[in-house]
Amino acid sequence: MDDYVIVVNGKPEGPYSLKELHELNILPDTFIRKPGMDDYKEAHELPELREIFGFTKQIALPQYFASLDVRLLAVIIDYLIVFGVYCLLALLAVSFIDEQFLRVAVSLSGLILIPISKLILSSFMESSTRQATYGKSLLGLKVSDVQGLRISRGKAILRNLSKLICIGTLGIGYLIGFFGKKQQCLHDKIAGTLVIKDRLL
């Protein structure tokens, strides 16, 4: 089955089957793409090619870090999404409630439910294969560890819970990000995480 397209001298060639690739002079840093991939990856990043060619997975440390203004925009997008979903659910719930007090209670519950939902959503999505919330994905950002790799669920939860410390310091925990090349806020430093940009941006 013809699956793989490789880049040779800056031009895509193929598609080649896995068997045909084995006969070519593939290097660990050869760019390769197969169906289902959003972009090209280096050969050493694909497990099946590491097995065939005996490549070792090379870890390229992140070089491009998201600025705080772009990160803020991603947070705003995420909150708008969560707020929109909450409003739809609240309107649906209120339509079945006759008592005025309960209607007000449902409406005000968003003050607690929206931030909690955002925290849970971020923890799950940032530790998923996506490595990003919807807002971050739209802006080409990912959350990683200091080596650029996907973070664990526990590390994602620690990262998001640590944002409470940033809020508790009246935002100083966020401002720390302005004073480092990697733009790590306090919650990033606590969890050992980075917010990185796609290498092609």
Residue 201: what pLDDT? Answer: 44
195 token code pair: 């917010």
In which residue ranges of the chain is pLDDT below 70? 1-2, 57-61, 199-201
Residue 44: what pLDDT? Answer: 84
Residue 199: what pLDDT? Answer: 58
Residue 2: what pLDDT? Answer: 59
Please give the model's pTM, rounded to 2 decimal places: 0.69
- What are φ and ψ of residue 36, in 5° steps? 95, -15
Closest listed residue to residue 91, CA positions, set 80, 107, 109, 111: 107
Q: How far apart are CA 122 and CA 120, in angstroms?
A: 5
